[in-house]
Amino acid sequence: MPTNNGQQYLESLKKLHPTAYILGEKVENPYEHPLIKHMVAGVAKTFDLAQGPVGRQHLVSYSKLIDAECSRFIKFYESQEDLMAKIEMLKYLSQNIGTCFMRCTGMDAMNAVGIEIYNCDQKYKTPYTERFRKFVGEMQRNDFVVFSGVTDVKGDRSQRPSQQKDPDVYLHIVDRNKDGIVVKGAKIHQTGSLCAHWGLIVPTREMREDDKDWSVCFATPVDAPGIIHVYGRGTLEARAMGDCDLGNAHYSKFAPMVIFDNVFVPWEYVFLCGEYEFAGPMVRNFGSFHRHSHGGCKCGVGDVLIGAAALAADYNGLKKVSHINSKLAEMIKTIQAIYGCSIASSVKAKKTPSGIFIVDHLLSNTAKLYEGKELYEVIRNMIEIAGGQVADLPSDMDMSNPEIGPMLKKYLHAVEGVSTEDRLKLFRLIEKLAFESRDVVSNIHGGGSPETHKMMVLQHSDLEGKKKIAKGIAGIES
């Protein structure tokens, strides 16, 4: 097989020694921590799925860069077909894992970076593309997981990076020498930083000439000296800590803050260093790519939401109730609309001078806006169909208590032929799908804020052309 399996991935993590803090404690082996192991398991599942015939079709592709097969997660988008295949891969994975599998950000950042550093090289004769292709080849040959560091803490958001009282609130270069650069700052919402081997760090916004030191892109191992991962809290943690009430929901998501405390980066892994005019396009491309990715993964999760709701209706004895079927139809409509926009964004993708295809910005951002608002309706309908017991079920420990367990099984039973245990497992899944804060908030803010999505929609809509159409039909002469 061209890619590692899950066990090989887990073994590779043992070679890493990241500095990690979880709930106030420095943790020597974060991959074994109960709050991390379920998240690492989701990534491992992506490697295992690639070993089967169906998963291989979705997850494995050919790389011109190394003239060999590689994971689609570390491949350039070289055609519209590549982008459609990405959507189908993410949908397939979500249908099998049910939550974030933490490999999309690196994939999308890799392609966004590749486009803009090529443009930078054409303008300034910089060596970034050659360096970057060597780095990507290294990732492909080793089948490494890459996370992307995009979102800075930002400090006073009314001020530009160079105007901040504390310059570190945007990651920036503090030193340059013959061997490389030194950077300082912090990135937040870093999905899967403790599941990855490397990070690809990207500017978070448009920059101006005064912001040159903040216009930096580079790659670094996750355990490089000076990098500190701080676990980000989420809901439902008590269950993971106690290894109970998980039912069949074996996977979770986390998004730490990653602090860069004077981190040295060799020149071979530096891909932008002061060329400020390429920072904005780089992050905009990343945003459109990542909103496009959401159209795949969230539609896969949407299928889980719909399936869980329909199953809950069956388990509650409400299979043929008309208002429930109406809700299911609304849920399906929303998921298909998001999926359709993402596929259309792939079909209308354009080849850039770098050879990498960029998605249609308007359609990818439309998909994300629809997800951010309408996916909540899908979740709300799932909760309405499932009923209020999702919110306050007794724990697994109560169910196994010899004194009250039998009574709980009796009173929590519903439809004949469906065990109480299976009904509770489904309710636990629905609770996780509805109330796991990292995923629910990601529906709105994943890939940037909703206002950013709207700005991109307006920027890539030809409003003047639409006005001209209206004038023509109304008989108004320009």
Residue 477 lies in a domain: no
Give the separation between CA 64 and CA 276, rounded to whole angstroms: 30
- Of 276, 296, 321, the residue at which a domain comes to its end is 276
At residue 1, the pLDDT reads: 45
Residue among 304, 366, 362, 361 nearest 331 (CA): 304
The pTM assigned to this predicted structure is 0.91
In which residue are the tokens 């017991």 written? 389
* Number of domains comprising the chain: 2
In which residue are the tokens 């932008």 written? 272
Instruction: Looking at the structure, tell me whether residues 223 and 101 fall in a common domain.
Output: yes
Residue among 159, 177, 197 nearest 273 (CA): 177
Residue 126 lies in a domain: yes
At residue 371, the pLDDT reads: 85
Contact 385, 352 (CB under 8 A): no
Instruction: Looking at the structure, tell me whether residues 24 and 146 fall in a common domain.
Output: yes
Instruction: Looking at the structure, tell me whether residues 120 and 96 fall in a common domain.
Output: yes
Instruction: Looking at the structure, tell me whether residues 157 and 18 fall in a common domain.
Output: yes
Furthest-apart CA atoms within the chain: distance in Å: 84
Give the separation between CA 216 and CA 41, rounded to whole angstroms: 32
- Of 244, 276, 308, the residue at which a domain comes to its end is 276
Instruction: Looking at the structure, tell me whether residues 177 and 81 fall in a common domain.
Output: yes
Instruction: Looking at the structure, tell me whether residues 89 and 233 fall in a common domain.
Output: yes
Residue among 285, 249, 325, 202 nearest 96 (CA): 249
In which residue are the tokens 């079909």 written? 347
Sign of CA dihedral 238, 244, 249, 252: positive
Instruction: Looking at the structure, tell me whether residues 314 and 270 fall in a common domain.
Output: no
The amino acid at residue 80 is Q
At residue 445, the pLDDT reads: 65
Please state the φ and ψ torsions of residue 329, each to the nearest 5 degrees. Answer: -65, -40
The predicted-structure confidence for 220-242, as pLDDT tens digits, reads as follows: 999 999 999 999 877 777 777 76
Contact 455, 370 (CB under 8 A): no
Residue 426 lies in a domain: yes
Kindly report the CATH number assigned to the domain that includes residue 249. Answer: 2.40.110.10
Instruction: Looking at the structure, tell me whether residues 293 and 434 fall in a common domain.
Output: yes
Boundaries of domain holding 329: 282-463
Instruction: Looking at the structure, tell me whether residues 234 and 303 fall in a common domain.
Output: no
- Of 276, 308, 326, the residue at which a domain comes to its end is 276
Cα pseudo-dihedral 159, 163, 165, 171, rounded to 10: 90
Contact 149, 249 (CB under 8 A): no
Residues of the chain with pLDDT under 50: 1
Instruction: Looking at the structure, tell me whether residues 332 and 435 fall in a common domain.
Output: yes
DSSP class of residue 461 equals S
Give the separation between CA 147 and CA 257, rounded to whole angstroms: 13
At residue 247, the pLDDT reads: 56
Instruction: Looking at the structure, tell me whether residues 255 and 336 fall in a common domain.
Output: no
Helices (H), 125-247: 128-142, 237-242
Tell me what the pLDDT averaged over the chain comes to: 92
Angle at 110 between CA 228 and CA 211, to 5 degrees: 65
Residue among 319, 173, 183, 195 nearest 256 (CA): 195
Structure tokens at 336: 């298909």
Instruction: Looking at the structure, tell me whether residues 85 and 185 fall in a common domain.
Output: yes
Residue 60 lies in a domain: yes
The predicted-structure confidence for 152-173, as pLDDT tens digits, reads as follows: 999 999 999 999 999 999 999 9
The residue ranges of DSSP E strands in 111-204, in sequence order, are: 146-149, 172-176, 180-187, 198-201
In which residue are the tokens 């920072």 written? 279
Helices (H), 316-436: 322-347, 361-386, 396-399, 405-411, 420-435
